[in-house]
Amino acid sequence: MRSKDGCQLFSPMIIFCCPTREANGVKKLMAFIREARAELKKVTWPSRQQVWYSTLIVIGVTLLVAAYLGVIDAVLTAFFSKVMKLG
């Protein structure tokens, strides 16, 4: 297959013949990793207790929503089963 600009065939050859391009990519990757590490050191991480309470809140809200949806489902199922029996 051929790309619109006709460079598909030559792209691998250019990358192979130009190691500086690959080295530049590695340098950029290493710079990105260094910057990411520096940013992670700036983060204020939550304490174990904060994580525990947040987890309990998420589980509690999930259970409440599940119960609410279960009740709605039961009511709608009963309603539509009665409607279908009438028709």
What residue segments make up the domains of the chain, in order of their start?
1-43, 46-87
Phi-psi region of 18 (alpha: psi -120 to 50; beta: other; left: phi over 0): beta
Q: What percent of the chain has pLDDT over 90?
A: 63
pLDDT confidence of residue 45 = 92
From CA 40, how far away is CA 26, in angstroms rounded? 21
Chain segment 7-48, per-residue pLDDT in tens: 555 555 555 555 556 678 889 999 999 999 999 999 999 999
Residue 81 pLDDT exceeds 80: yes
